[in-house]
Amino acid sequence: MATTPAATPPMLRRVNAGKLLSVLSTAGVMTGTGLIEATGLTRATVHAVCNDLIAMGWVVELDPGHDAPGTPVGRPSRRFEFNSQAGYVLGIDVGAAKTTVLLSDLRGETVAKTGRSFQSVKTPAEQTQVVNEAVLEVLAAADVTDSEVLAAGVGVAAPVDREGNILVDDEFWRRFDAGLTTRLTELHGWPVLLENDANLATLGEHWRGEARDVDDLVVLLAGERFGSGLMDSGRLLHGSRGGAGEMVYLKLVEGVGDTAGIARTAREQGAKAVADPTVKTSLRELAGSDPVTAELVFAAADAGDKVALGILQYVACRTARVLATLGILFNPELIVIGGAVAAAAESLLPSIRQQLATYTATPPRIAVSSLGDTIVSVGAVRRALNYVEQHALDLQLSSAR
């Protein structure tokens, strides 16, 4: 029978350091007594491990605090604080049309943000170059060097397995198999963690969005293509090859038929109406000589245009069917609609909720994301922070600002 290896002093020190960092990274200033209560460790262990973390740069010690009135006079309490500027992480969203890059400190607070379009990109190498230019821009804006970056999370619109490999069974997914992570590591030296964009959106919503207190969650990215991230009991679901939550099955769903998202469907339906001279709609005047956009369809509907209102009713009906399949299959407490279309989708919610109740006896709550176009990059920051927390004692900090 296999036996569990005995815990050695270095192993125990490592476990205890992890406990203290986990507490300090989410708290403010804490005394030794507070850390003892939060971790269950002895006073001697807390102080010894804090001394190690201070020497490594992860923790700073502040001026001694004063004991509360009425307590015995003695040595002032030692006070500790997580050094959130000991390093930085990057959150990178590589979408079909653009990239969004966030630079954050170790508490996840955004230090700099930028975005670049892929409009003129024709090859994977050009796409990588655009992403790298955006990375260089945020680093320069914050005066941060490569050596201060501890990790980068990257989201792509394709299934990614647990080892960071992209599933290339679909032509659209193959566009993202461009060797981006290897190239960024070669250029900058920091680890790059690849993940599906909807999975990262789910991490972002659970961390900083509408689902902070929800552990059974689906996030539906609904812009150009539908894609979903799934969380069960606070744990992301990947599937054997990273395909959990992929929505190619929508081709088989009556009333849906493909993976086209809200923005694409609204745009295509609007363009079809404008192209028909027998259809009277203000979309024609709003668009002028430019192509019809989803934003124009929503604007026309808001102004009372009957054709645009009909398009959005069709979009709402189609989206309700998509949400119903997710609700029935995974039984989440909450489904969050995210992506660049989220703000506009707010107007669709009354119709979606009404129809959803006719498809399932246990409809989940529906909300739209407040994270806007950063939903994936915020989740990528969280993914990078998870890596830093797991490997903190193995990372070399270049500075302690």
Question: Quick one: how far is CA 32 from the chain centroid?
Answer: 34
Residue given tokens 């170790």 in the structure block: 106
* Confidence at residue 73, expressed as pLDDT on a 0 to 100 scale: 55
Residue 43 has, within 13 A of its CA and on its CB side, a CA count of 5
Radius of gyration of the chain (CA): 25
Boundaries of every domain in the chain: 9-82, 88-206+376-394, 211-370
Best CATH choice for the domain 211-370 from the list 3.30.420.40, 3.20.20.70, 3.65.10.10, 3.50.50.60: 3.30.420.40
- What stretches of 303-350 adopt beta strand conformation (E)? 334-338
| Full pLDDT tens readout for the chain, 401 residues | 555 555 566 788 888 888 898 899 888 899 999 999 999 999 999 999 999 999 999 999 998 765 444 445 566 789 999 999 999 999 999 988 899 999 999 999 999 999 999 988 888 889 999 999 999 999 999 999 999 999 999 999 888 888 888 777 767 767 777 788 899 999 999 999 999 999 999 999 999 999 999 999 999 999 999 999 999 999 999 999 888 999 999 999 999 999 999 999 999 999 999 999 999 999 999 999 999 999 999 999 999 999 999 999 999 999 999 999 999 999 999 999 998 888 888 999 999 999 999 999 999 999 999 999 899 999 999 999 999 988 888 888 875 44
Alpha carbon distance, N-terminus to C-terminus of the chain:
50
351/353 Cα distance (integer angstroms): 6
Sign of CA dihedral 105, 200, 237, 172: negative
Closest by Cα among 90, 32, 59 to 382: 90
Instruction: Indicate the helix (H) or strand (E) that contains 302.
Output: helix 294-302
375/91 Cα distance (integer angstroms): 10
Say which DSSP state 5 is in.
P
* Confidence at residue 79, expressed as pLDDT on a 0 to 100 scale: 94
Q: Residues 88-206+376-394: name the CATH superfamily.
A: ATPase, nucleotide binding domain (3.30.420.40)
Contacts of 282 (CB under 8 A, 6+ apart): 300, 303, 305, 308
**CATH topology identical between 88-206+376-394 and 211-370:** yes
381/107 Cα distance (integer angstroms): 10
Residue type, 395: L
Q: How many CB atoms lie within 10 A of CB 65?
A: 14
Say which DSSP state 86 is in.
S
* Confidence at residue 167, expressed as pLDDT on a 0 to 100 scale: 77
Sign of CA dihedral 208, 127, 151, 229: positive
In order, the DSSP letters of 80-134 are EEE-TTS-EEEEEEE-SSEEEEEEEETT--EEEEEEEE-TT--SHHHHHHHHHHH
Best CATH choice for the domain 9-82 from the list 1.20.1260.10, 1.10.760.10, 1.10.287.610, 1.10.10.10: 1.10.10.10
**Alpha-carbon torsion, ordered 260, 265, 267, 273, to 10 deg:** 140
In order, the DSSP letters of 67-79 are PPTTSPP-SPPPE
Helical segments of 102-230, H only? 124-142, 171-174, 180-188, 197-208
